[in-house]
């Protein structure tokens, strides 16, 4: 990923928070408690909930490494009879590859326990079969599981002009030139922009990476364009996760466990779920959470140091 592409030199928590606030009118609306309850970890409040919706980056893993203790926590929740579903905005790889990655990290999630924004975006493409879709999917993108033909935008520059619509799966390899060419192409001929990962940033071992949501909001700022966002905090993603937990689990007995105010907490509260913000390994690692809560008004039900 080219961090120089229409972004500041430093991409950190403060920048990400400010940018989320700038684009908040494109997110969702919710109500919040007056204050978050501090606890050591999810185990301290597990008995209050029957189901857990789990963010991946910042909760289960950071980049290619599992969060310390996360595998053991999943096993503990299973022994307690809790229902689990992973709700991830990670959209670079298909379901088979993503499940293989979770298993390599030590997690035992079944296919039905993973809801990926990639799959939600792919469903939106399938209802418009017959269009020529071009994707930003990173080098050697995995595009064979989508159910409709999707071509690699980075491999064929002519698609900027020819494509009937664009899909943003990954920002890997996306440069200032790519962004400018896409904006110019859309200004000349407006077309759908499907965003399979609405995140602005994601926690990695070496810091925060810029994600497709960042580039989609730049397009929306510049053009009379409304990108289609699939994933947290948008309602479709939370509905899909709730459905996987079963109709007998009421929203009040479901907790969304995440590391972000503007995706995890905002989206889950809008869906009527309780929220647990984990601070040790994600977006707010090493930060005092209180100023961000005060400035945004996004208040988690529970603030846990660790998962």
- The pLDDT tens digits for 250-272 are 999 999 999 999 999 999 999 99
Residues 219 and 240 in one domain: no
Q: Report the candidate in 68, 64, 57 with the shortest Cα–Cα distance to residue 16.
A: 57
Percent of the chain predicted with pLDDT > 90? 89
Q: Are residues 171 and 79 in the same domain?
A: no
Q: What does 15-72 look like in DSSP terms, one character per residue?
A: HHHHHHHHTGGGS------SSPEEEEEGGGGGGG-SEEEE-SBTTTEETTEEPTTHHH
pLDDT digits 0-9 by tens, 26-44: 999 999 999 999 999 999 9
**What percentage of the chain exceeds 70 in pLDDT?**
97
Q: Is the pLDDT of residue 5 over 50?
A: no
How far CA 79 is from CA of 11, 73, 74, 83, 244, in Å, comes to 39, 10, 9, 10, 19
* Residues 224, 84 share a domain: no
- pTM surpassing 0.85? yes
Same domain, 153 and 63: no
What is the pLDDT, as a whole number, of residue 204?
Answer: 84
Task: Dump pLDDT digits (tens) for 185-218.
Answer: 999 999 999 999 999 999 888 889 999 999 999 9
Same domain as 263, residue 236:
yes
151 & 128 share domain: yes
In a domain, 32, yes or no: yes
Assess whether pLDDT exceeds 50 at residue 1.
Answer: no
281 is a domain residue: no
Q: Work out how many domains the chain is built from and give that number.
A: 2
For residue 150, pLDDT beyond 80? yes
Question: Mean of the pLDDT values across residues 212-230?
Answer: 97
CATH number at 62 reads: 3.40.50.1000
pLDDT tens per residue across span 82-112: 999 999 999 998 888 889 999 999 999 999 9
Is 282 inside a domain boundary? no
Q: Are residues 193 and 209 in the same domain?
A: yes
Q: Which residues pair with 199 in a beta bridge?
A: none
Domain that residue 152 falls in: 119-229
Asked if 106 and 146 sit in the same domain, the reply is: no
Q: Are residues 105 and 131 in the same domain?
A: no
What residue has token string 């080219």? Answer: 2
Say if 34 falls within a structural domain: yes
pLDDT of residue 9: 65
Same domain, 237 and 110: yes
Query: Quick one: pLDDT at residue 6?
Result: 62
279, part of any domain = no
């Amino acid at each position: 990923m080219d961090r120089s592409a229409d972004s500041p030199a430093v991409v950190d928590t403060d920048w990400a928070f400010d940018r989320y606030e700038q684009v908040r009118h494109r997110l969702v609306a919710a109500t919040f408690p007056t204050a978050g309850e501090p606890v050591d970890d999810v185990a301290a409040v597990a008995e209050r909930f029957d189901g857990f919706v789990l963010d991946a980056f910042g909760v289960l893993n950071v980049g290619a490494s599992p969060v310390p203790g996360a595998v053991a926590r999943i096993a503990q929740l299973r022994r307690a009879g809790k229902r689990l579903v992973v709700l991830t905005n990670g959209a670079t790889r298909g379901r088979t590859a993503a499940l293989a990655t979770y298993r390599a990290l030590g997690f035992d999630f079944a296919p039905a326990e993973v809801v990926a924004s990639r799959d939600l975006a792919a469903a939106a493409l399938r209802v418009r079969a017959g269009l020529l879709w071009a994707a930003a999917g990173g080098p050697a993108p995995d595009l064979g599981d989508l159910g409709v033909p999707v071509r690699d935008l980075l491999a064929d520059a002519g698609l900027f002009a020819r494509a009937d619509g664009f899909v943003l799966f990954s920002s890997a390899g996306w440069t200032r030139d790519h962004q400018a060419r896409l904006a110019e192409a859309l200004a000349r001929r407006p077309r759908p922009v499907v965003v399979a990962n609405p995140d602005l940033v994601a926690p990695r071992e070496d810091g925060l990476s810029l994600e497709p949501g960042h580039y989609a909001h730049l397009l929306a700022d510049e053009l009379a364009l409304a990108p289609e966002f699939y994933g947290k905090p948008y309602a479709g993603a939370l509905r899909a996760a709730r459905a996987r937990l079963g109709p007998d689990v009421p929203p009040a007995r479901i907790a969304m466990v995440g590391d972000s105010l503007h995706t995890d907490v905002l989206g889950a509260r809008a869906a009527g779920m309780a929220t647990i913000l984990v601070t040790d390994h994600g977006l707010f690692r090493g930060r005092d959470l209180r100023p961000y809560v005060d400035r945004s008004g996004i208040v988690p039900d529970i603030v846990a140091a660790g998962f």
